[in-house]
Amino acid sequence: MQVTVIENVLKLNDEIAAMNRRTLRDAGVFAIDLIGGPGCGKTALLEATLRRLQGELTIGVAVGDLATTNDAQRLLRHSPHVIQINTGRSCHLDANQVRQAMNQLPLHELDVLVIENVGNLICPVGFDLGQDVKVGMFSVTDGDDKPVKHPPLTNASDVILLNKIDLAPYVDFERERFLAGVRQLNEKAPVLELAATKDQIDPWLQWVKESVAAPAM
């Protein structure tokens, strides 16, 4: 009985995700599902991204958190197209929540929609939102073992971000061990090394611009 119910929930989610995907493609919006642990720097990355790409790409953001509108407030300084989704106790965004956010955004004006998922390396991976790509984000301060400890995310990511490389001198982090962990589970995804709060995000900006110009999926 339980399995059937969960399958139905996932099936409904997948149907709405497929609708989202069609809507986004029809509007010419490249959609990114950004998944990372709490505090890995997702919002900091988006703040810098919105600021740096202003005038070049029009970017909307749907940002998920259990509570508070902190993240949306931070992002609204850099773009008017930001929707906060509060999930209460839910540990991930689902396709319907993203659809509600999409309904409040001027999709035809956007080049990119970034869906900043709830801070969590596990649950968000299983829910299709209608995105073009999944971006898995880790940080140096969270340790070099995180990719192998989170196979579903590492495996499902089209791109892997390693943030906070500016803090590497102060912690015990082996870059080669991190990269080997990624490659053990994902042969293809590029690994981009960033320091979002230091504005060192050029490889990411380049990847976003290239992806918008010629979506790979």
Cβ at position 215, least distance to its own copies in Å: 28
Number of chain residues interacting with its own copies (CB under 8 A):
41
Q: What are phi and psi of 145, to 5 degrees?
A: -95, 0
Enter the tokens of residue 141: 């301060």
Residues 146-205 touching its own copies, rule: CB under 8 A, are 146, 148-152, 164, 166-167, 170-172, 197
Q: Hey, which residues between 43 and 102 contact its own copies (CB under 8 A)? A: 65-68, 70, 89, 91
Dihedral sign for Cα atoms in the order 43, 49, 51, 56: negative
CB of residue 191 vs its own copies: minimum separation in angstroms? 17
Please state the closest distance from residue 30 (CB atom) to its own copies, in A. Answer: 27
Q: Which helix (H) or strand (E) holds 53?
A: helix 42-53
Indicate which single residue of 57, 141, 165, 200 sits in contact with its own copies (rule: CB under 8 A).
141
Name the DSSP class of 160: E
Least distance to its own copies, CB of residue 216, Å: 26
| 8/54 with CB nearer its own copies | 8
Strand order in 191-193's β-sheet? 82-86, 59-65, 112-116, 30-36, 133-139, 159-163, 191-193
Residue 169 Cβ vs its own copies, minimum distance, rounded to whole Å: 9
Residues 94-123 touching its own copies, rule: CB under 8 A, are 118-123
Is 9 a residue that touches its own copies (CB under 8 A)?
Answer: yes
Give least dist CB 98 to its own copies, A: 18
Angle between helices 42-53 and 202-213 (to 10 degrees): 70
Q: Which of 18, 28, 39, 217 binds its own copies (CB under 8 A)?
A: 39
Query: Considering only residues 1, 213, 214, 216, which one is a binding residue for its own copies as defined by CB under 8 A?
Result: 1
Cα–Cα distance between 210 and 105 in angstroms, integer?
Answer: 23
Query: Please, which residues bridge with residue 139 across strands?
Result: 163
> Closer CB to its own copies, residue 89 or residue 108?
89
Among the listed residues 44, 63, 62, the one whose alpha carbon sits nearest the alpha carbon of residue 52: 44
* C-alpha span between 63 and 105 (Å, rounded): 13
Give the C-alpha separation, 214 to 217, whole Å: 9
| Residues engaged in binding its own copies (CB under 8 A) | 1-2, 5, 8-9, 37-40, 65-68, 70, 89, 91, 118-123, 126, 139, 141-143, 145-146, 148-152, 164, 166-167, 170-172, 197
